[in-house]
C-alpha cells in the first residue's frame, strides 16, 4: 500500500470495493489519528458464513490496512440481518455506534 494514511473514507471505500458491501459505517475511535477503528459492514458475501469466517474475509480484504493500525473491530452482517436490525431498532440507518461520541467511548469514568 503506497499511501500509509488510513482514514474512515479509505476503509469504507476498500470494504465497498473488495467485499461488495452495500452499507459500511466506519468510525475512527482514536480521535482522528487513524489508529483505532470500529465498523459495521453489510455484505452479501457474508451469507451462509459464521462469524469467524466473516471476520476472516474482512481481515483478508483489509490485510494491508489492518497492519498499519493499532485496534480494529468489525461487525459483519448480511443485508437480511441488517434489514432485520434496522426494523427492530426503528431507525433508518441500522445498528448504531451508541455509546461513542467524537471518536471516544462515553459513559466511562476516568
CA 16 remoteness from chain centre: 11
Q: Give the pLDDT mean for 11-37.
A: 91
* Banded model confidence at residue 23, pLDDT cuts 50, 70, 90: very high
Q: Which three cell numbers stand for residue 55?
A: 471476520
CB 58 within 8 A of CB 37: no
The predicted pLDDT at position 94 comes to 47
> 86 pLDDT band (50/70/90 cuts)?
confident
Mean pLDDT within 61-72:
91
Q: Does domain 8-92 have CATH number 2.40.100.10?
A: no
Q: What is the pTM of this model?
A: 0.75
pLDDT value at 29 more than 50: yes
Amino acid at each position: 500500500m503506497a499511501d500509509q494514511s488510513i482514514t474512515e473514507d479509505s476503509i469504507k471505500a476498500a470494504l465497498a470495493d473488495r467485499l461488495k458491501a452495500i452499507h459500511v459505517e466506519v468510525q475512527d475511535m482514536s480521535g482522528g489519528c487513524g489508529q483505532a477503528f470500529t465498523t459495521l459492514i453489510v455484505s452479501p458475501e457474508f451469507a451462509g458464513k459464521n462469524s469467524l469466517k466473516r471476520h476472516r474475509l474482512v481481515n483478508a480484504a483489509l490485510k494491508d490496512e489492518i497492519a498499519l493500525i493499532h485496534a480494529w473491530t468489525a461487525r459483519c452482517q448480511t443485508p437480511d440481518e441488517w434489514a432485520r436490525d434496522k426494523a427492530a431498532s426503528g431507525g433508518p440507518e441500522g445498528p448504531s455506534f451508541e455509546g461513542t461520541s467524537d471518536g471516544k467511548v462515553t459513559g466511562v469514568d476516568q
